[in-house]
Every structure is written in structure tokens, then in C-alpha cells.
Amino acid sequence: MAKVSLRVVALTYLLFLLVLPVAVICWRTFANGFGPFWDALTAPSAVHAFQVTLQVAIPAVIANTIFGVGVAILLVRHRFVGRKVLSALIDLPLAVSPVVVGLALILVYGRFAPIGGWFADRGIDIIFAIPGMILATIFVSLPLVVRAIAPVLEEIGIEQEQAAWTLGATSWQAFRRVTIPAIRWALAYGMVLALARCLGEYGAVAVVSGNLVDQTQTLTLFVQERFGNFDAQSAYAASFALAVIAVATLLLIQLLRPKEGTR
């Protein structure tokens, strides 16, 4: 009996928090049929926002993948002074509010800050431009790849790599032919997770982008701006697109997860 009531509570909770809002979005998106939805989604501003989102998310995921693999190997395979500090710093983005991250980036890379000024003198704008948005997105999704692969690296141990060395492989060959294949599913999982986080990021990007329509507007910023300007149909359509992407990523994650540990 207790089990059943617990289930009812859990489902009701999820119904009001998750299912109902998403369902209403779907319903509102298609309230006037498929035509208006498609028009809203293919409007120049929406398409541009989608392109900006990809321009920001893809470099961020690539950067986090390279950095994540490097740092995970450093944390798992090496013992050095400051290792614990590094490990704690990696998790910082999970604790700090994205808005704070955005503000901090402006203070360092803004036009009137030393580093930002140096770049501005050379014609490169970081803040209120794509580079700053990429930086902000990298920051908020920093720990995801590291934390996905570190436990797997720990589990496989170093002996396979050592065996490869004694068989004549250089460190790079051992890394490419032995380490990477051994962590590939964890790496894929971490990358998908990071991609989902990058596509959905709002706070940090909102601060550093300046939300310039048709210039630095990502899909999430587009939703917010359209909604504020009473263009509900566009907001609903873009929200629906984001939700579909999120569900697709979740399914992908579910597909990748059980493969972990087999073979």
C-alpha cells in the first residue's frame, strides 16, 4: 500500500513539474496546426539562432573533449602537488551560478579589461561576440567529460598501456590504440552530456552575448526574447525544437550507458 501511494506521489510530482509543462508546450506549438509551427521555425531569425547555437556548442564540446581527456588522464594516472585542488576546480562550474560566470568573463575579456583590450586592439571582440559565448559555454560544461571518463580510466588501470609500451608502442600509439578504445563509450557518453548542456545553456551566454538579434542570439535566448515580445508562436516552436533535441540526447545517453563495462 505504502509502495503504491509513494508511486502516486512521485508520478503526480513529475506530472505537474515536467509532463504538464512539456505537454502544454507541444499543444500550444501545434494549436494552429503544423503550418504556423513550420513558418515560425524557418523564419530567418530562428534559423540564425539555431546556427549560432551550433557555432557555440560544437567548438565548446570539442574543447571540453580534448581538455577532458587530458585532465582525466592527469588526475587518474599521475600523482602531483595540487592534484586535489585541480580536482576540486573541475567541479567549480557545477556550483557557480552561470550568471556569475558570465559577469566574471566580462570583467576579464571585456573591451576595457587588459586581456579583452589586447584582443580588441587586434580587431577581435570576445564579449558580445561568438568567442565569449564559446568561453562561457565551455566553462559551464567543463566537468562533464572529465567526470564521465575518469572512473573508467581508473577501472581499466595502466597495465594495458604498459603492455602496449613493451610491445613497441610509443605513448601516443598506446593512447590512440589502447586507451581511447577502452574509454570510447564513456567518452561518447560524456560528449553527448556536454552537448546537451551546451545547447541548453542560457544564463552565462545571456550575459556575455548581449543578446543581439540575428547576431549573437542562440536558440535559448531566442525563446526568451520572442516570448518577451509577445511572439508566442515563435517561442513555442523554438522551445519545442529544444525539447526534441533534449529528448533525443537523453535517448542517445540511454543507448550509450549500458554498453559501459561490457567487453
Partner 1 sequence: MIRASHVCKNFGDFAALTDVSVDIPTGSLTALLGPSGGGKSTLLRIIAGLETPDSGTIEIAGADSTRMSPQNRNVGFVFQHYAAFKHMTVASNVGFGLKIRKRSKTEITKRVNELLELVHLEQFAQRYPAQLSGGQRQRMALARALAVEPQVLLLDEPFGALDAQVRKELRAWLRRLHDDVHVTTVFVTHDQEEAMEVADSIVVMADGKIQQVGTPDELYERPASDFVMSFLGPVTTLGGRLVRPHDLVLSAEPVDGAVAAVVERVVRLGFEVRVDATVGGQPIWAQVTRYRSQLLDLRPGDTVFVRVLEPAASPVG
| CB-based contacts of 220-223 (< 8 A; 24+ apart in sequence) | 220/53, 221/49, 222/45, 222/46, 222/49
Distance CA 64, CA 66 (A): 6
Buried (b) or exposed (e) across 118-152, using 16+ Cβ within 10 A?
ebbeeeeebbbbbbbbbbbbbbbbbbbbbbbbbeb
Provide Rg for the chain, Cα atoms: 22
- In angstroms, give the least distance from the CB of 16 to partner 1: 45
Using CA atoms, how far apart are residues 138 and 203, in angstroms rounded to an integer? 13
66 binds partner 1 per the rule CB under 8 A: no
Give the interface segment with partner 1, choosing from 8-16, 45-53, 178-186, 230-238 (CB under 8 A).
Answer: 178-186
Asked if 3 touches partner 1 (CB under 8 A), the answer is no
Pick the closer one to partner 1 by CB: 135 or 174: 174
Q: Which stretch binds partner 1 (CB under 8 A): 100-108, 177-185, 229-237, 239-247?
A: 177-185
Q: Is 258 in the site for partner 1 (CB under 8 A)?
A: no
- Of 109 and 185, CB closest to partner 1: 185
178 binds partner 1 (CB under 8 A): yes
5 vs 166, which CB is nearer to partner 1? Answer: 166
C-alpha cell at 67: 581538455
Q: Is the separation of the CB atoms in 178 and 169 below 8 Å?
A: yes
Q: Which part of the chain contacts partner 1 (CB under 8 A), choosing from 16-24, 79-87, 94-102, 179-187?
A: 179-187
Q: How far is the CB of 180 from partner 1 (least distance, A)?
A: 10
Our CB check for partner 1 shows the closer of 124 and 163 to be 163
Helices (H), the chain: 2-14, 20-29, 34-41, 44-77, 83-90, 92-95, 98-109, 114-121, 130-140, 142-156, 159-166, 171-174, 180-200, 203-209, 219-228, 232-256
Count Cβ atoms within 10 A of the Cβ of residue 179 and give its class: 0-12 exposed, 13-18 middle, 19 or more buried.
Answer: buried
Q: How far is the CB of 175 from partner 1 (least distance, A)?
A: 13
Which residues, numbered 206-235, are part of the site for partner 1 (CB under 8 A)? Answer: none
Nearest approach, Cβ of residue 150 and partner 1 (Å): 18
Site string for partner 1, 143-172 (x = CB under 8 A): -------------x--xx-xxxxxxxxx--
Give residues in contact with partner 1 (CB under 8 A).
156, 159-160, 162-170, 173, 177-178, 181-182, 184, 262-263
